[in-house]
Amino acid sequence: EVQLVESGGGLVQPGRSLKLSCAASGFTFSNYYMAWVRQAPKKGLEWVATISTSGSRTYYPDSVKGRFTISRDNAKSSLYLQMNSLKSEDTATYYCARGSVEDWGQGVMVTVSS
C-alpha cells in the first residue's frame, strides 16, 4: 500500500523559511517523479513543484519559483520542500503526491502569519 506522510508544517512569520518532509513507503520511491500540491483554506488546488526520479530536473509554477526548492533523497525514500521568503498567500495545506498526482499524503498545514 502506498503511504505518503508529510511533516514539518506549522506557523511561521512572513519572510521566514520552513522545510516540509514526506516519507514514502509501499512503492519503489526512486522509480517515480514526485510532486507537491497545496490547497489554501476553502480554495482550490495548486500544483507547487515536481521533481524527476533522479532529482536532476525540477519544475515550479511562477508563484513559487525562486522561493521554493523541491528535493529528494532516494536512499531514504523521502521528498522535501524548502520554502523561503514565505508570504501570507502561501498559507495552505501542502500535500506530497506520487507521479502525476496519483497518490496523496494526508497533508500538512502551513500558516504564514505575524
Partner 1 sequence: DIQVTQSPSSLLASLGERVTITCQTSQSISNNLNWYQQKPGQAPMLLIYYATSLQTGMPSRFSGQYSGRSFTLTITSLEPEDIANYFCLQHYSAPWTFGGGTKLELK
53 is a site residue for partner 1 (CB under 8 A): no
Q: Please say whether the beta carbons of 35 and 101 come within 8 A.
A: yes
Q: Please say whether the beta carbons of 94 and 6 come within 8 A.
A: yes
50 is a site residue for partner 1 (CB under 8 A): yes
73 is a site residue for partner 1 (CB under 8 A): no
Q: Judged by CB under 8 A, which of 1, 13, 41, 44 binds partner 1? A: 44
Q: What does the CA dihedral 48, 73, 98, 1 come to, rounded to 10 degrees?
A: -150
40 is a site residue for partner 1 (CB under 8 A): no
107 is a site residue for partner 1 (CB under 8 A): yes
